[in-house]
């Protein structure tokens, strides 16, 4: 977005939403219930602090907690990265084409 309206945009969204929304400032932390909007004419860089926690790890934790888990198959994926990792880690109970996932749930 151009410089200028992003602060007002964030303030307006903050007044309408149940989560906190603000124009990002250096050092802001991302967390549950909070959305940050890049200041006008600026890009944001997000840096992870602490251990990595990706989708494949999360799916494995769900399976270990006895959840029914599904990974999308390679043939129907535009990008197979996370499903491949989940499958390699044994996190997927079923591996299905995208069109079949809703029915399996």
Q: What is the pLDDT of residues 84-103, one digit of tens each?
A: 999 999 999 999 999 999 99
Amino acid 50: pLDDT = 67
Q: What pLDDT, on a 0 to 100 scale, did the predictor assign at position 73?
A: 97
Q: Determine the pLDDT at residue 70.
A: 97
User: What are 21-46's pLDDT values in tens digits?
Assistant: 999 999 999 888 999 999 999 999 88
Question: pLDDT by residue (tens digit) across 64-83?
Answer: 999 999 999 999 999 999 89
Please tell me what DSSP assigns to residue 21: E
Closest C-alpha to 103, from 81, 70, 78, 73: 70
């Amino acid at each position: 977005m151009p410089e200028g309206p992003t602060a007002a945009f964030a303030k307006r969204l903050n007044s309408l939403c149940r989560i906190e929304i603000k124009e990002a400032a250096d050092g802001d932390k991302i967390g549950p219930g909070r959305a940050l909007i890049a200041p006008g004419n600026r890009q944001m860089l997000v840096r992870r602090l602490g251990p990595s926690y990706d989708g494949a790890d999360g799916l494995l934790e769900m399976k270990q907690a006895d959840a029914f888990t599904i990974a999308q198959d390679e043939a129907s994926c535009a990008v197979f990265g996370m499903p491949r990792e989940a499958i390699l880690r044994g996190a997927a109970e079923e591996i299905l084409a995208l069109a079949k996932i809703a029915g399996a749930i």
